[in-house]
Amino acid sequence: MASLFVRIDLASGDHIGPGKVDLLEQISEHGSIAAAGRAMGMSYRRAWELVEELNETFGRPVVQSRTGGKSGGGAELTPLGYLVVGRYRALQKAVDKASQGHLSAIQAELKGRRA
């Protein structure tokens, strides 16, 4: 099936795309930037860079330290981080729905799909 790749291009030149949003989701799931990076086959350094880019874009953190608990620290999303993930996913869903008819029409013309 064809799918849409969607990226938000900001006036500042910054971008918010599926890579950064997937990373935030993985941080939320694993409670750690390192573990999130590993789950995505990404170096710790690269995962940090992407989080820092988002922090810079918004001028405040999307991820914060989580102190204490039995895992002894780690990371969690800030309310802003959750907003970014939630809005991006909702945007993606709305976009997928809105594009369906046109995507199917293009797909029907593809090589190998013709009678």
Tokens of 97: 């729905």
Question: Using CB under 8 A, which of the segments 27-35, 38-46, 66-74, 95-103 binds a copy of itself?
Answer: 95-103
Q: How far is the CB of 20 from a copy of itself (least distance, A)?
A: 12
- The amino acid present at 48, given as its one-letter code, is W
Residues that bind a copy of itself (CB under 8 A): 1-12, 15-16, 56-60, 80, 83-84, 87-88, 90-91, 94-95, 97-99, 102-103, 105-107, 109-112, 114
